[in-house]
């Protein structure tokens, strides 16, 4: 987790881009809810694309947030496939239940401040700062 006075961010690592993007999504949901208490009761297909890897990461996370906001679902696991600057994924989770889930803050937006997707140790590192 990254600390920022106004909000919160995450740094995700992975041996492939797909893994890095899956971890970034996991990190985003970990800010919102204790993922240990989330069941994989539902799944959603999500697709995203972008002009470059940073935009792809932004759009991927925004697609997920849109499902969360309009359907009330939170996700804990992601099967991600990245081809160039497009992505297809399956996200597993369930309906948010304030009575049962331990809540953090609601992520409302993905900022471009300090964002990076860079190669690191044969894999990748992604950094994202969220608007909470």
Binding site for other proteins (CB under 8 A): 1, 3-8, 51, 54-55, 58, 62, 66, 69-72, 98, 102-106, 108-115, 129, 131-132
Closer to other proteins by CB, 17 or 54: give it: 54
Nearest-approach distance from CB 76 to other proteins, in angstroms: 18
Cα separation, 70 vs 19, in Å, equals: 26
User: What residue has token string 């890897």?
Assistant: 53
Q: How far is the CB of 113 from other proteins (least distance, A)?
A: 3
Q: What is the dihedral of CA 91, 57, 9, 89, to 10 degrees?
A: 10
What is residue 93's three-state secondary structure? strand
Which of 86, 111 has the CB closer to other proteins? Answer: 111
Taking the CA of residue 11 as centre, how many other CA atoms within 13 Å lie in the half-sphere pointing to its CB? 10
Question: Of the two residues 37 and 123, which places its CB atom closer to other proteins in the complex?
Answer: 37
In whole angstroms, how close is the CB of 92 to other proteins at the nearest point? 19
Output the smallest distance, CB 65 to other proteins, in A: 9
Ramachandran category for residue 72: left, alpha or beta (phi over 0 → left; psi -120 to 50 → alpha): left
Residue number, 114 or 123, with CB nearest to other proteins: 114
């Amino acid at each position: 987790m990254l600390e920022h006075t106004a909000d919160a961010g995450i740094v995700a690592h992975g041996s492939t881009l797909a893994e890095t993007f899956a971890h970034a999504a996991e990190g985003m949901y970990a800010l919102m809810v204790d993922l240990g208490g989330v069941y994989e009761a539902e799944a959603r297909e999500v697709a995203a694309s972008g002009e470059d890897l940073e935009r792809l990461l932004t759009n991927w996370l925004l697609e997920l947030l849109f499902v969360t906001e309009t359907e009330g679902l939170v996700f804990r696991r992601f099967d991600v496939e990245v081809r160039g600057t497009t992505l297809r994924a399956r996200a597993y989770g369930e309906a948010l239940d304030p009575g049962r889930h331990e809540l953090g803050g609601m992520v409302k937006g993905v900022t471009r401040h300090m964002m990076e997707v860079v190669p690191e140790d044969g894999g990748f590192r992604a950094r994202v700062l969220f608007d909470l």
